[in-house]
Every structure is written in C-alpha cells, then in structure tokens.
Amino acid sequence: MSKATRLKVDLSLGVTAPRGFRAGAAAVGVKKLTEKPDVAVLACVVPAQAAAVFTQNKVVAAPVIVSRMHLAKNRTAMRGVAANSGNANACTGKQGLADARQMAARAAAAIGCKTEQVMVASTGVIGRLMPMDKVCVGVERSCAALGCGREADSAFARAIMTTDTRPKQAGVRIKVRGRTVTVAGATKGVGMIAPNMATTLGFLTTDAPVAAAVLDKMLRRAADATFNCLTVDGHTSTNDTLLILASGLAMEGAAARPIAEKSAEGKTLAEAVLAVCDSLARQIAADAEGGTKVIEIRVTGAKSDDEARRAAAAIANSPLVKTAIAGGDPNWGRVLAAAGRSGVRFRPELVELRLGKVRVVRDGAVCRYEEASARRAVTAAEVEIELDLHAGEHEAVIWTCDLTAEYVKINSEYHT
C-alpha cells in the first residue's frame, strides 16, 4: 500500500462528483434472488481522456477484450462505461464478445456516441452466457436514470457489487490554477483478489484537464502502489479492470491547457489519483470475503523493492498465517516459514520480526516477550506484522485479511 498522503479523502464523493459525469443503475435480475441494482452506466457529457489497466490472467473475459480494443481506438474521446454484476461474461466464446459489444452499443445509442467510445466491465459467475434480454433492459434503464449526486453515486457503487457487503467509493478535491479539481471513484471486490496490474473492478473520474498519455502513467503508478499491494486469496480474476476518465471541465479558456506530468500541478493530480486508489483498495481489504481483520504485512531491509514485495506477498497469501490470525494465535513461526519459501535472498540469522509493537524475533531467534501482548496484537481489528530482513534498504507493504470458515462457505456456494 502507498504511504499516507497529505490529501483528505472524502468517502461521500463518488463517480459523479467531478464535473461532466453522470451515472445510472437498474435492478433487472442478472443477480439471482436479489432486488439490488446489477447493471450500471457511467457517462461523460463530453469526450473524455481515458486510461485503464486490466487483468494479467491469461484467461481473459470478453468485456476486457472489448474494452482494450475500444480504449486503443478512443483513449482521447471515451464517453462512458456499461457495467454489470452477477455474470462475468468470461469463457463464453464468440457469443460473449458479441454480448459485450452489444452492451457498449446500447449504452452508446443512449449517450449519443459511437459504440467504440464505450468500455464494458462485468463481474460475477464465470462460464455462463449473459442474459442479454435482462442486460439490455438494464442498460437502457440505467441510461434513462443518468444523473449526478449522492443518489447516483450510491446506485452505481451498489450495482457493481457481488459478494461485497457494502459499496465502496472515495474522492479528493484539490486546487489547480485557482480552480477546484475533483478525483473520485468507486470499486468492488472482496474475493478472487491478488496483486497483478489491476485487481477487481475500479472506476475513477476526474474533471482535470489532462492528456490520456499522462493519465495512463498516473493510473499505473497509483495502481502499482495500491491495488497491486492488495491480496485476499492470491487469485487474479479474469475480469480485473481499473479505469479512469477525465472530462477536463474543471477549467475553461486558457486555464484548460493540459496539466504537464512533471509540473507541480501534475504531481498534485497524481497524488490525488493515488489517494483515491489507496482508499478504495483499503476498503476492499476491510470488506474481504469472510474476513474479520485487516492485516498489514510490512517487509523492510530487502535487497530490492521486488524482493520486499515477494516476501510480503508470500506471507500475506499463506493460509497458515491467515488462519492463525483468524484464531488470534500469535504463531509467528508461520510468518518466517512463508518468507523463507518466497525465494528472496536474506540470512535467517539476521531477521527481526514484530507483531504490532511486540518484537518476537531478533537475530533470527525467538526473544523474550509477553505472550499476552503478542496475542492482543493479532486479535485487533487491524493487525500489523513487520519483518526486517536486514539484507538491504528496500521495503514493501501488502494488505490482506484473515482466512475464516465464512470464506470457505461463500466460495463453496458461489456458483450455485
């Protein structure tokens, strides 16, 4: 996860907080046995600059394929996104591609733009054809309901949820050239999450005047420091998408010139994108499937950033570590064992390990500590584990959650 920024994040701000954006949602029964919204559309009133990162899984869902193609053609003139939950439209062949394109076409017709100016995002069960009769109605109803404000933001955030227990959104307001610029977004995801490009579905918007190429760099850096430092169960989805649209409507006239990447304004905007991504990723960790605790794994003293991240990820993805914390058991030996099999270079006789503020290992061996204090450290709602390898000057942080019986229950019944 990224280090804290100076910017204040407002959880009441959603995708329509920046100027020029509208959102709508509808409940049409894509998700069975629920009356919650499951189709949504996010639209920009002007052609928007756009950037996105997608799953690195070799098994790629149709919406990702279509969105990549549309983005390649129209990254400087994107008009919106059509999204749904309840069905991933993955492993659905040519029909799945046709269905994803039809979703974009229906939204484009209502927005008043070309099909290629709309991206598509889906989440849910893999291997089932989309119920297009319902989805098309949902897209049309969502477009008819397009609006801005808290109600529209909430509807959009709820429509993309699957096993999430609550909607997730965040926003930041900054000053650029004497004007207020907003960056905001919504995300979903509580399971099938591991760091690899994007993780889950995430939608960011801003009214800053910024070129697509610069926006792309900002998004990738922010994703790498936030979403890519998050793991729930070590699984990268077929549908992972994190995108951002920029309307540029915060400025007019000469002030509307594009923000330069390396300028002070560019750095402030990049920090705002980072802050929103950081908040959204943390909200995912706090709502992980079956999770009861948020766990921060910090590895310091590594030979490189990559090795620090690999060691932290090995610990974060260890079922033994996660189940120990679920039970409030300060079984620190599992942490060292996970780091030891990560392939990272270090000398075991030099390592130091802390559970919260309690140092349990020094110079590679157990040291004197109070067992009750260590147990309190791993029974807290937010658990901190810090491993110093004493092998270099690099560090990394990975956020995860505990592994409980509820996670098994949710995922054993997900398909049915």
Helices (H) and strands (E) in the chain, counts: 11, 14
Token digits of residue 139: 């897209």
Distance CA 86, CA 416 (A): 12
**Other CB atoms within 10 Å distance of the CB of residue 380:** 15
For residue 106, the SS3 value is helix
CB contact at 8 A, 215 and 49: yes
Query: Domain 21-286's class?
Result: alpha beta
pLDDT tens digits, one per residue of 40-69: 999 999 999 999 999 888 889 999 999 999
Domain ranges across the chain: 21-286, 294-413
Q: Say which DSSP state 252 is in.
A: -
DSSP 281-348: HHHHHHT-TT---EEEEEEEEESSHHHHHHHHHHHHT-HHHHHHHHTT---THHHHHHHHTTT----G
- This prediction has a pTM of 0.83
Distance CA 379, CA 389 (A): 25
Catalytic residue among 16, 199, 200, 205: 199
pLDDT of residue 162: 83
Q: Do domains 21-286 and 294-413 have the same CATH topology?
A: no
pLDDT of residue 186: 98
Active site residue 123: no
For residue 91, the SS3 value is coil
State the average pLDDT for the chain.
91
- Once rounded to an integer, what is the mean pLDDT over residues 389-404? 90
pLDDT tens digits, one per residue of 170-207: 999 999 999 999 999 999 975 444 555 445 899 999 99
In this structure, which topology does domain 294-413 adopt according to CATH?
Ubiquitin-like (UB roll) (3.10.20)
What spatial distance separates the first Cα and last Cα of the chain, rounded to whole Å? 34
Question: To which residue do tokens 């029974």 refer?
Answer: 379
Q: Residue 401: which pLDDT band, with cuts at 50, 70 and 90?
A: confident
